[in-house]
Amino acid sequence: AATAGGTTKDAKVPTVILTIGMAGSGKTTFLQRLNSHLRTQKHVPYVLNLDPAVNKLPFGANIDIRDTIDYKQVMKDYTLGPNGAILTSLNLFTTKFDQVLEFVDKRAAELDYVIVDTPGQIEIFTWSASGAIITDSLAATYPTVLAYIIDTPRTAGPATFMSNMLYACSILYKTKLPFILVFNKTDVTPHDFAVEWMSDFEAFQRALMQDTSYMSSLMNSMSLVLDEFYENLNYCGLSAVTGAGFDDFMAQVAKARDEYYAEY
């Protein structure tokens, strides 16, 4: 079985952490903190940036989609709007993804983690053919876990919470990969309410009753569905700004990976 550092008794196998999150959830800040956290722990990360539209990355990427694909040029060449251009850029990059895997493979023996940034418009990544090809080829090569970054302060109302959880649930079903809910920005709003709602169905029902009107019956049924989703879920709270909670996050990564990839 794999150990927390991603090593087996035979050879080192890096763990891929694929980061997904809505715009503004703090994905970039999270990756910056994760990158430095891993380095201070003497774990070697390899950084892949798959977001063609990011202006400035606050950390160095080993492979950056922007090095080969000029997103603004794609907009001009194909007369596309921003979302169409992100999708087309991803499609163009996916045709070269076998080369990306070769680069990672050359370094794999010395790596502990491969951390991947994805476009802030998550649906472009999760629902496109190229997003699926990239995800599947990574997951077929290395143990891969998905970190779904949540803006905790903005998800503290029961209705918003549930819609965010349904979204997370749909990504889980789509990718079928080990999944970690990452409640970010806990320096602003601690994620205790989320832990309570995920572990105590009745507490969530009570919160819903105070919050909703005509939607309440549908929301009640949906929250029953989600109760099952929570049961097999890994989650943690952290702050990408202060760095609190990253040790727990890494423990969740190891747990999610080891439960899923028992053969590694």
- Quote the least distance from Cβ 16 to ligand GTP, whole Å: 19
Please give the residue whose beta carbon sits closest to ligand GTP in the complex: 120
Question: What residue ranges bind ligand GTP (CB under 6 A)?
Answer: 21, 23-29, 120, 184-185, 187-188, 239-241
Tell me the angle at which helices 158-175 and 192-199 cross, rounded to the nearest 10 degrees.
Answer: 70
The two beta strands, 179-184 and 113-117, are unpaired
- Quote the least distance from Cβ 143 to ligand GTP, whole Å: 25
Closest CB to ligand GTP among 29 and 141? 29
For residue 101, give the nearest of 88, 110, 114 by alpha carbon. Answer: 114
Asked if 25 and 14 touch (Cβ cutoff 8 Å), the reply is no
- Quote the least distance from Cβ 134 to ligand GTP, whole Å: 18
Closest CB to ligand GTP among 40 and 79? 40
- Quote the least distance from Cβ 86 to ligand GTP, whole Å: 11
Q: Using CA atoms, how far apart are residues 137 and 131, in angstroms rounded to an integer? A: 10
- Quote the least distance from Cβ 254 to ligand GTP, whole Å: 22
Q: Using CA atoms, how far apart are residues 90 and 50, in angstroms rounded to an integer? A: 8
Closest CB to ligand GTP among 121 and 220? 121
Q: Quickly tell me which residue has 């040790």 as its tokens.
A: 247
Closest CB to ligand GTP among 144 and 239? 239
Closest CB to ligand GTP among 25 and 130? 25
Residue 235's SS3 state is strand
Closest CB to ligand GTP among 27 and 257? 27
- Quote the least distance from Cβ 10 to ligand GTP, whole Å: 37
* Polymer length in residues for the chain: 264
Q: Using CA atoms, how far apart are residues 253 and 178, in angstroms rounded to an integer? A: 9
Q: First-to-last CA distance in the chain? A: 6
